[in-house]
Amino acid sequence: MRRLFQGTILTVLLGLFSLEAIPARPLLAQERVVIAIQPTLASDEMLTKAKPLKNFLEQGLGGKVNVEIYVPSSYAAVVESLRFGHAHVAFMSAWPAQLAVQLGGADVALAEVRQVLHGAEKVEAPYYYSYWVALPDSPHQSLQSLKGKSACFPSPISTSGYVAPMGRLAELNLLRTPEGKEADPKAFFKEVLFGGGYGQCWQALKQGQVDATIIAGDVPEKLYKEVLASTRILEQQGPIPSHAVVLSKELKEPLRSRVIQAIVKLGQAEHRDLMRSFISSIFVGFKPTTATEHLGSLTRYLKLARLKYTERL
């Protein structure tokens, strides 16, 4: 099933997505700011929901800079829009943000602070954890005992549901990856299912289709608490970075600082709904950061598992 998700490999990403219909002319920083938003809904729906955000940021920039919202068709295209200067700013999840830094020389300026769950405690933080779980009556007491068994991963491009769990397997020396190759979950598990989401994997575990699955501290609280109340935690991985605000190298001062200041104001209580309505329902605010600080743990897991970003077209 994992092959179904590998429609685009990282090397193809460098050229293919630059051909997407994105703003054609080079950006003039003092004229406009283009913000790329990682797609989570249909493009038209996201653009409609983004209008209040656009107006808010234009006002925050003194009404003299035109803000344009751009919703690419894929995560990879967000990276490319920053890399080729078609966008100045992007709201994106951790793994694409890491690629934007690695491939496009972009900067991570802000980390999203969200209401997440650390164990049983609800906190406001720019990071969270994910957990390997099994049913209470399962004979498995540790991750080591799952060798040769079955597991459900939410998605092969999920930071908390695949990258960190695979990195943790490698970190514990349970999964060894030959030089030049990506870690393969089937080198440890006999059967691997990609469920398409945490809820689907939870159903697979409850129905006895797999021996273990993963839950993360940024999923809906109801689902999280239901899973933890009905399972045994076998292992934890993290900290896992939240979403980030990434800036293109084409965005120059003094506009660069003004854009950051305008975005930070979205964290004020009266403005949070602008972000919650279509980017992150658990958004609280932003924290100044760097790629090294915010993405360090992700980079470590990627190196441990030697994973490359793949995306279904």
pLDDT (tens digit per residue) in 197-208: 999 999 999 999
> Given this model, what pLDDT does residue 40 score?
66
Task: Answer yes or no: do 10 and 44 share one domain.
Answer: yes
Task: Answer yes or no: do 235 and 253 share one domain.
Answer: no
> Given this model, what pLDDT does residue 39 score?
67
Position 150 in a domain: yes
Position 311 in a domain: no
For residue 225, give the 3-state DSSP assignment.
Answer: helix
Task: Answer yes or no: do 191 and 225 share one domain.
Answer: yes
52: preceding bond cis by omega (within 30 degrees) = no
State the pTM of this model. Answer: 0.85
Position of tokens 């690629």? Answer: 99
Task: Answer yes or no: do 229 and 257 share one domain.
Answer: no
* pLDDT confidence band for 5 (50 / 70 / 90): very low
For residue 239, give the 3-state DSSP assignment.
Answer: strand
Burial of 123 (0-12, 13-18, 19+ CB in 10 A): middle
Task: Answer yes or no: do 135 and 112 share one domain.
Answer: no
- Structure-token pair, residue 147: 């060798």
Check pLDDT > 70 for residue 13: no
Please give the backbone phi and psi of residue 253, each rounded to the nearest 5 degrees, phi first: -70, 150
For residue 83, the domain's CATH number is 3.40.190.10
- Structure-token pair, residue 98: 């890491």
For residue range 116-159, what is the model confidence (pLDDT) as tens digits? 999 999 999 999 999 999 999 999 999 999 999 999 999 998 99
Distance CA 273, CA 282 (A): 10
Check pLDDT > 80 for residue 24: no
> What amino acid is encoded at 296 in this protein?
G
What's the number of domains the chain is made of? 2
Position 263 in a domain: yes
For the chain, how many residues are written?
313
Domain range enclosing 222: 127-240
Mean pLDDT of 206-218: 97
Task: Answer yes or no: do 82 and 139 share one domain.
Answer: no
If we measure between CA atoms, which residue out of 311, 288, 308 comes closest to residue 108? 288
Distance CA 230, CA 217 (A): 16
Position 57 in a domain: yes
Task: Answer yes or no: do 111 and 202 share one domain.
Answer: no
Task: Answer yes or no: do 231 and 260 share one domain.
Answer: no
For residue range 219-269, what is the model confidence (pLDDT) as tens digits? 999 999 999 999 999 999 999 999 999 999 999 999 999 999 999 999 999
Task: Answer yes or no: do 70 and 92 share one domain.
Answer: yes
Distance CA 237, CA 128 (A): 9
Distance CA 168, CA 160 (A): 11
Distance CA 147, CA 128 (A): 26
Angle between helices 94-104 and 291-305 (to 10 degrees): 100
Task: Answer yes or no: do 7 and 112 share one domain.
Answer: yes
Distance CA 236, CA 239 (A): 9
Task: Tell me which of 196, 212, 240 is where a domain ends.
Answer: 240
Task: Tell me which of 183, 209, 240 is where a domain ends.
Answer: 240
Task: Answer yes or no: do 204 and 296 share one domain.
Answer: no
For residue range 53-87, what is the model confidence (pLDDT) as tens digits? 999 999 999 988 999 998 887 777 888 889 888 89
Task: Tell me which of 240, 257, 276 is where a domain ends.
Answer: 240
Pick the residue with more confidence: 63 or 15? 63
Task: Answer yes or no: do 111 and 247 share one domain.
Answer: yes
